[in-house]
Each structure stands twice: as structure tokens, then as C-alpha cells.
Amino acid sequence: MRGISVVSFKKKASADIEPPVWFQRAFSIRCNVRIGAFTYFQTGSLQGCESIGRYCSIAGNLRVGDIEHPTGWLSTSPFQYNAARFGWSEAAADYEALVSKKDSFRKPQVVIGNDVWIGANATILRGVTIGDGAIIASGSVVTRAVEPYSVVGGVPARHIRFRFDEETIAELLDIRWWRFSPHDLSGIPFDDVNAATTDISRRIDQGMEPYEPDRMKVSKTTRSPTESEAPGSSRTRRALGRLRRAVQ
């Protein structure tokens, strides 16, 4: 894992990480989230995100799952369910807030699949699921579910096109190539998706095993391991590479 020192965690927030993951610049995590291997981040904030899959490419100024306000109540202001918001003022020091209903209007946390590319300045609202292989254009505000291998963009984000034809998408979702490490995928013709899926399918039939590293849970109070200590580190990968070559 690389760059965890630039990540800020709020209160009890934590990240259950499958290494390697790289945080390239300052990043904020304000929820409990699971993050898959070979994913990298630039700047951004996770406010309400359940999980992010493997091999995701996330550009700067991402916002995921920002806190919602009630739109069907008397007001959209949080004073209705959070007495502390203005409790420091005598004018709001003694009133009955609907604390028990503070989460009643909030949607589920965001789920982001594998091999998802999110452009700069994107916002993803709560209740959204983004399918494997999807692309979110820069500046988009995603308000609804995104299908696997769909390209979406705009405010609100709308479907633009699919990356591949239906048959190719079905094949990609069937083989789930992201289960494997770059070492396992060495020699695959990445620039020819049909040849790549054929080659990966053959390797799976021959017994290629998924990459399954030990996960790490990181929070504000835990010490992060150094890159060389972490499972999936460059030292570990080099050792695995030597072992593979020795048994070939």
C-alpha cells in the first residue's frame, strides 16, 4: 500500500484495503469502506461509500456519497434532527430535535465495481451502484445506477454508449479478469479485448488462481505498514515473480 500517510480519516471511519492500493494525493475517508487491489486515487472524499472494486482509476476532486438533506420535511435544514448544529446559541439551546429520524431519509451507500474509471470533478450521490467496467466522464453528477461497461456523463449523468458489444461485455463479466494480478496477466494482448478474453479464459481453464492477498484495515488510530512490510508490496511481488520463474 502506498500513500496512506496522505489519507485523513474522520472519527471512526476506516478502510478495509486489499493491497496494493495507491493514494497519490491528499484524500479524505469519512465512512467505513472496502477497497480492492490495484486501485489508485488522486484527491477526493468518500462520505458514504460501501465499496470500491479492483483496478479502478480515480481522478482528482472526487466526491462520493455526500450527506443528504430531507426534501419532504418542513425544512431541508439539519436543525430538525441535529440539535447540536445550532445548540451553541441561546435561540436553539432548548428544543426537541427528531434525532431518531436523522437517517430515515438517507439512501444506501455507494457501491463502485471493478475496472471503473472516474474522471476529475465527478460527484456520485448516495443510492448509486456503478457496474464493472464503467466510465464516468469528468464533471459528471451521477444520480442513478450505471450499467456495467457503460460510459456516462453530464449533469445529471446520462448513458452515452457502451464500451463494447453485448457479447464482449458478457464475456468480460463472465471471466472477471480483475480477479488476477498483473503478474498473472503477463503476456495478455491488452489492446485486443477479444483476444485477451480468449487467452484469459484458456488460462483459467488451465488452473490460473485468483490473486488473494491479506487485507489491511486502516483507520485514524492504526499505524500503517510501510510499503516494504505490506502484503502485495514490491518486495513481495519480486519474490513471487522469482518463485514463479523457478517452477516454470
Q: Residues 141-166: pLDDT tens digits?
A: 999 999 999 999 999 999 999 999 99
Determine the pLDDT at residue 40: 98
Q: Is residue 136 part of a domain?
A: yes
Q: Is residue 245 part of a domain?
A: no
Average pLDDT, the chain: 91
Determine the pLDDT at residue 1: 83
User: Domain holding 36: CATH number?
Assistant: 2.160.10.10
* 226 pLDDT more than 50: no
Determine the pLDDT at residue 241: 59
Determine the pLDDT at residue 223: 47
Determine the pLDDT at residue 227: 45
Determine the pLDDT at residue 220: 87
Q: Is residue 97 part of a domain?
A: yes
Mean pLDDT calculated for residue range 213-217: 95
Q: Is residue 222 part of a domain?
A: no
Q: Using one digit for the tens of pLDDT, what is the confidence trace for 11-46?
A: 899 999 999 999 999 999 999 999 999 999 999 999
Q: Is residue 239 part of a domain?
A: no
Q: Is residue 77 part of a domain?
A: no
Mean pLDDT calculated for residue range 165-174: 98
Cβ atoms of residues 134 and 153 within 8 Å: no
Cβ atoms of residues 23 and 7 within 8 Å: yes
Q: Is residue 180 part of a domain?
A: no
Q: Count up the domains in the chain and report the number.
A: 1
Determine the pLDDT at residue 130: 98
Q: Which of 10, 34, 69, 203 is catalytic?
A: 69
Kindly report the number of other CB atoms within 10 A of residue 30's CB atom.
Answer: 20
The boundaries of the domain holding residue 31 are 4-72+86-163
For residue 19 the three cell numbers come to 493491497
Strand (E) positions, the chain? 7-9, 14-17, 21-23, 27-29, 32-35, 39-41, 44-46, 49-52, 57-58, 62-64, 110-112, 117-118, 123-124, 129-130, 135-136, 141-142, 150-153, 158-162, 216-219
Q: Is residue 17 part of a domain?
A: yes
For residue 176 the three cell numbers come to 472477471
Kindly report the number of other CB atoms within 10 A of residue 183's CB atom.
Answer: 11
Annotation says 69 is catalytic: yes
